[in-house]
Structure 1
Amino acid sequence: MKPKTILNLSLAILMLGVAQIEAQGIPLPPKTLVKVYPEESDELLLNPGIGFTTFQRFNGDDLNSGMLWTEGFPIEYQYFDGDLTNKDYPQTTIAYFRVNWRFLEVEPGVYNWEMIDKALKTAAERGQTLMLRISPYEHDDEKDVPVWYRKIVGEESKNKILSGKWRINPENPAYLKYFGGMIAAMGQRYDGHPDLEAVDVSFIGYWGEGDGMELLSKKVRVGLINKYLDNFRKTHLIFQPLNGDATQPELLARGTNIAAYWPDGTHNGEGPNMRQLGWRIDCLGDMGIWDDFTHMLDVYPQDIVRSGMKDAWKKAPIAMEICGTFLTWLERQKYNEEIVDYIFEQALKWHVSSFNAKSSPVPEQWSPLVDEWLKKMGYRFVLRRFTYPSQVKRQGQIPMTSWWENKGVAPIYKDYKFAVRLKSSKHTTVLFTDADIRKWLPGDIVYDEKLYVPLNTPTGEYQVEIAIVDHVTQSPRVKLAIEGVNSEGWYPMGKILVTD
């Protein structure tokens, strides 16, 4: 359905009951204001940076079977037949991979960049961006620190455990030098890459999740985080302060210098490049898997507040990971729809943008719940009202107003641009607004702008179209939750006449 328009002709005409007419195809009298009220769409939208992620896979790959998954090893590539469909799993815009340090830094200072380059290229080809974590080690010897690093440090911490999930002693200066050096090298090569969605911060402990972080000296603790902050200034960083192992999450988060500022506008004073980081949790849905606590009831609600990270979502993305898999929930935990719906609602309350379901199939009976969850996850922009004048002169001003609603639970975190396009059969002009859509938090947004028509714009009638676009390619990047999108991804608002 095309958006409806209202013409403010005069009070007399309005009294005659001419309140709504279609702008398309109707010559507009001079000095009228075109009002557009787009029709909201309930469509499930596939948008950048939000929704499910594939895990150790790309769109179109086969999913994991059963309750298990793999991680840490070098990226493997399945045969791709050109079909991007994910059977029994939502389509995604993010491919999340976790690879261990030993497979990236093959010798001191010698990096297997080809592995990351290929992953970035493949993700782009599959309609995704790459989320990446390089972990220092896991619990198995085959996933230990690099062989060459083990030769440098010997068997430290494998026999004498300083913390329950340490395989090496991070206080050894070699750790900050080499593992920290790898972080720095990766940032210098990939920071700001358009196909790199985010870097999942990794420090110490199994999977790099930070077990025992509070035991580190300030020099090592601040040194590790600054390797990320100094070298990733454009790409978003997400951090895991709430993993269930952290008995003092407020020390873990604040002690690692994660936040540039706290909700009251202060910061902890450590580090030269402090800014807000996002966070992730890795056991969403734990309602009783462990004997002594549950993440959903005993850890996350309290520690999101205690850690000082409850407002991080306003500036950086919140990523969540399923506890087990959906098959675990269904067959082992015996969750019903009510429990699943509760878990999803809690994630929305914590402002989730992306969710790693470990590329495990979604049970058919839960698909409707998942679809409704996806409609609220991250951002969802509805244009409610848009106005502009029916005529404008070349080099003249187009005053426009807009009222939006973000019906999601988070803002968008990439600097896409709200643009207006004037299009005719002979000429197209794209006008960029100054709107910073990263500040469009959930709720109502009012944005007004005055745009100028370039002198080289030929006179004549143009279609007025709007979109949220990539500022380099000028192509639409974000689907809106309104009807009427055209084949190029723009949303027609009506006609405008450009005159001399």
Structure 2
Amino acid sequence: MYPKVIRDVLVNPGIGFMTFQRFNGDPLNPGTRHWTEGHPIEYQTYSGSLANADYPMTSLAYYRVYWKYLEPEEGEYRWDLIDTALSVARERKQTLQLRIAPYGVGESEDVPAWFRASIDSSSRPLPDAKWQVDPENPLYAKHFGRFIRLMGERYNGHPDLETVDMSIVSAWGEGESSHLLTEQTRAALVDAYTDTFIDTPLVMLLTDPYTNQYGLTKANVGYRMDCLGDMTEGAAHMLDCYPQQILQCGMQNAWKKGHISFESCGVMYSWFHRGVDIDYVIDQSLKWHMSSFNAKSSPVPREWESQVNRWLRSMGYRFALRKWTYPEVVKPGGKLDFTSWWENLGVAPIYRGFPLAVRLVNERSCKVYLTDADIRDWLPGDITYERSLDIPPDMPLGHYRLEVALVDRSTGEPAVRLASEGRQPDGWYSAGTVHVQTELDPPPSPLGEIVVSPWQ
């Protein structure tokens, strides 16, 4: 069987545009200069529709909040703020990307008041204007690091948590001047994340070779960069920062194991008014193996709809089933041997595991197999996978539809849409038909008697 490849825009887990401090179905930020961050989410009235006006449907929601709101008093934690965001994300068919920034800028975005009162006001002058506190004060790594470790212990592997930003220092947690950290402080802050978020993908801000390389020695970390779309001549992120910094920080191959995410410089309508070459921005971001994009929940220019759709068809992974071979007849107690050819038409792998499942089903009986395929290893290009499935000795005789899907491990339901034809109403993909018969029995009519078997 050779399924046809489709060109539909697919909304799939962990890739594409994201909502920012908002969720699918919420009103967008107005204008070209307005968005919120750092503060607890102000939840919108939900109409029941997940549609986003002038913004792509997404599978991702991004929540960025300051430490002060999560630990307002020492040892007292507002986990409910994260719990609510995770719950609403699930309701809106999204998973959450999370950054807990130590502070922003100014008194209103400072570290927690109890921590400010505890640190020595006579500490050395801060070397960077975006540092609110001296990270070399041992109390910083002790208390902020403790918070991160507790968060990791609580949320590691949470099914609704897509990624966690490794925010360690400077305004908004963006890592400004992190190269000035001592090895001891850098290790203490980075280890707080890598020691506890074992099963949840981690994303580092692209900062400096010391910090990023240390992170890579500890985990399969990806990276996030702010200011995609900045084309200002002489100091453009797109021309004078990203290409060089990705290489200097040794992160050019991080995409093979770690999620790559970008954030817009301003919003997309500001790009449009400045005459930014959107095709150049798209092509460069895909070259850097981008999986997700924060457009700050601000409207996307309708004039760029076709370009954005092209972007979405390549961003992250895009799996197509190209060929499936198998025997049309098997017997109870025998084997169903299959080979398959897949193609990842995107620019990155998937970073969370979804089992490849095979289903034999008819009107009365169903048998589901979870294979050992690790689709996280399916890099862009061709993939082959073969397996031998055991047919139970008591498998009822008859005709079965052979179907495949990439499923959610906890629910068993199809979770990833394929760029292939054959999707059934329940999300499974048709891969042919199989007849289960004994060696001596002739194949009965598909409309003949079917023996009832419980769902497995």
TM-score under structure 2 normalisation?
Answer: 0.94
- The residue aligned with 2:164 is 199
- The residue aligned with 1:253 is 212
Which runs of structure 2 are paired with 1:104-253 in the superposition (5 Å)? 104-153=70-119, 155=121, 160-242=125-207, 249-253=208-212
Distance 2:191 2:427 in 1: 40
Q: Which amino acid aligns with 2:298?
A: S
- The residue aligned with 2:226 is 282
Alignment partner of 1:287: what SS?
A: coil
Alignment partner of 1:474: what SS?
A: coil
Q: Which amino acid aligns with 1:334?
A: G
2:247 paired residue among 284, 290, 305: 305
User: In the TM superposition, what is the alpha-carbon distance from 1:174 to its structure 2 partner?
Assistant: 1.0
1:385 paired residue among 304, 323, 341: 323
Q: Number of aligned residue pairs: give it.
A: 437
Pick closer, same or farther for the CA change 1:111–1:401 going to 2, 3 Å.
same
Alignment partner of 1:52: what SS?
A: strand
1:451 paired residue among 389, 392, 414: 389
User: In the TM superposition, what is the alpha-carbon distance from 1:292 to its structure 2 partner?
Assistant: 4.6
1:156–1:169 CA contact under 8 A, matched in 2: no
Alignment partner of 2:326: what SS?
A: strand
Which runs of structure 2 are paired with 1:50-61 in the superposition (5 Å)? 50-61=15-26
Distance 1:459 1:389 in 2: 15
User: In the TM superposition, what is the alpha-carbon distance from 1:46 to its structure 2 partner?
Assistant: 0.5
Deviations 1:164-189, CA, capped at 9 Å, x for gaps: 21111111111111100110010000
1:382–1:405 CA contact under 8 A, matched in 2: yes
User: In the TM superposition, what is the alpha-carbon distance from 1:155 to its structure 2 partner?
Assistant: 4.4
- The residue aligned with 1:62 is 27
User: In the TM superposition, what is the alpha-carbon distance from 1:205 to its structure 2 partner?
Assistant: 0.4
User: Between the two proteins, what is the percent identity of the paired residues?
Assistant: 50
1:326 paired residue among 243, 264, 268: 268
User: In the TM superposition, what is the alpha-carbon distance from 1:396 to its structure 2 partner?
Assistant: 1.2
Q: Which amino acid aligns with 1:300?
A: Y
Alignment partner of 2:420: what SS?
A: coil
User: In the TM superposition, what is the alpha-carbon distance from 1:66 to its structure 2 partner?
Assistant: 0.9
1:156–1:167 CA contact under 8 A, matched in 2: no
Alignment partner of 1:327: what SS?
A: helix
Distance 1:126 1:189 in 2: 22
Q: Which amino acid aligns with 1:319?
A: S
Distance 2:267 2:121 in 1: 35
Pick closer, same or farther for the CA change 1:88–1:182 going to 2, 3 Å.
same
TM-score under structure 1 normalisation?
Answer: 0.86
Structure 2: stretches of 5+ with no match in the other structure: 439-456
Distance 1:392 1:303 in 2: 56
- The residue aligned with 1:475 is 413
Pick closer, same or farther for the CA change 1:147–1:329 going to 2, 3 Å.
same
Moved more, 430-439 or 187-196: 430-439
User: In the TM superposition, what is the alpha-carbon distance from 1:456 to its structure 2 partner?
Assistant: 3.8
1:387–1:401 CA contact under 8 A, matched in 2: yes
- The residue aligned with 1:367 is 305
Distance 2:176 2:394 in 1: 61
Deviations 1:386-425, CA, capped at 9 Å, x for gaps: 0110111122111101111111000111110111100011
- The residue aligned with 1:433 is 371
Distance 1:496 1:175 in 2: 63
The CA RMSD over aligned residues, in Å, is: 1.3
Structure 1: stretches of 5+ with no match in the other structure: 1-35, 243-248, 261-273
Distance 2:411 2:392 in 1: 19
Q: Which amino acid aligns with 1:479?
A: R
